[in-house]
Chains A and B, each alone.
Chain A
Amino acid sequence: MSTRDIVLVALFAALMAALGAFPPLMIPAIAVPITAQSMGPMLAGGILGAKRGALSMLLFVLLVAVGLPLLSGGRGGLGIFAGPTAGFIFGWIAAAAVTGYLVERFWTSLNFVTAFLAATVGGIVVLYGIGIPWISLVGGVPLATAATGSAAFIPGDLVKAGLAAAAILMVKRAYPMIRPAHGRP
């Protein structure tokens, strides 16, 4: 890890916090708040790559754990990690890693479809793949029940994956951070 890598990791952890300060969009029909924050892992992985992206999410989770109110709605502290939905917080680290890994794989031929795929697999499939079994395990409810309760967030997350994919492509054109093939930064 060079100094530059550490600075980038810290900047994207801070960006994640800034995304949490965005007022959530309320969709009355499904009564589910759509927050900008879950775009953070997709952006961090897709722009910094797997390793630095995942580390920036790990740093963000650490900042929340030491008592900073950085989660959307001003939540934070250790209580979050004792609750039933903690898997969705820890899952951000893996979400950024997988999004980053896929974007690195697609890098030379990256387009909207592959970027959207990377953001969806990392930021939705992997994230829910950790968050839903977590609820089921700690809450003592069957997987299907936990999945039904979480499904309402998926439409909003798909919109965010689309936005993140567009942003990943635009940043790649303006200021690419991932080097193709051998010798990744």
Chain B
Amino acid sequence: MIVGLYRAGDSRLHRAGPGRKLLALILGGTLLLAISSLWLAALGVLMVLALYGLAGFGPRILWAQLRPIAFVLAILFLAQLWLATPAEAVLVVLRFAALVLAAGLVTLTTRTSDLVAAIERGLSPLSRLGLDVAKISLAISLAIRFIPAIGQIAGEVREAQLARGRRPSPLTLVVPVIVRLLKMADEITDAIDARS
């Protein structure tokens, strides 16, 4: 199984329902985008930081959320500094920091399975419009099961090629893996159809 980004804990944030957390995130994010005051944006960042404290997360986890966008954010900061005002530049950085940290906090405090269940519950009213929620659930659980299997198949193909004295290149690896997957799809389909 692949390990999700969830960090176990017993804080109030961990215990809150995923639907409520998502709703709070959407409301908070909309609010952040609507304000143009530097001080309110800074207040937003401080509030999110306080929530990280409440959830029991330290600076290392905090930085791990920001690191992936740090580079783009630095470029945006410089561009704003050059094109607009220093205040605008700081506002953009604060806004993104607050948004990304808040969204990351929902991921850190909510199990993947709980989020999937929340999505399925959220979609279920749409089943009257012809949306097959059971099929969506099936697709999600199949994909999660397939991810480790594909790594294994790629390893087997690579070994087979090395055994035949061929050096695997990206192309000679990816094509046999895909063909194996397509053949696998038929077997899996038969297995699922036979059970239902």
Using a CB–CB cutoff of 8 Å, the interface residues on chain A facing chain B are 1-4, 6-15, 17-18, 21, 36, 39, 43, 47, 55, 59-60, 62-63, 65-70, 73, 75-85, 135, 139-142, 145, 149, 163, 166-167, 170-171, 174-175, 177
Interface pair B143/A63, CB less than 8 Å apart: yes
- Given A78-B25, A81-B103, output 12 extra A-B contacts at Cβ < 8 Å: A3-B192, A9-B143, A12-B181, A17-B150, A66-B112, A78-B106, A78-B107, A82-B100, A83-B68, A83-B100, A85-B72, A171-B182
Q: How far apart are B30's CB and chain A's nearest CB, in angstroms?
A: 12
Interface pair A140/B80, CB less than 8 Å apart: yes
Interface pair A171/B179, CB less than 8 Å apart: yes
- Chain B interface SS verdict (over half): helix
Interface pair A9/B139, CB less than 8 Å apart: yes
Total contacting residues, chain B, CB less than 8 A: 67
Q: With A11-B146, A15-B181, A140-B92 as known contacts, state yes or no: A75 contacts B68, CB within 8 Å.
A: yes
Interface pair A175/B171, CB less than 8 Å apart: no
B112 contacts across to A, CB distance below 8 A: 66-68
- Chain A interface SS verdict (over half): helix
Interface pair A67/B146, CB less than 8 Å apart: no
B73 contacts across to A, CB distance below 8 A: 84
Q: How far apart are A75's CB and chain B's nearest CB, in angstroms?
A: 5
User: Is B162 among interface residues, defined by CB-CB distance under 8 A?
Assistant: no
Q: How far is the CA of A65 from the CA of B4 in the complex (A)?
A: 11
Q: How far apart are B132's CB and chain A's nearest CB, in angstroms?
A: 7
Binds A, one of B9-17, B38-46, B50-58, B183-191: B183-191
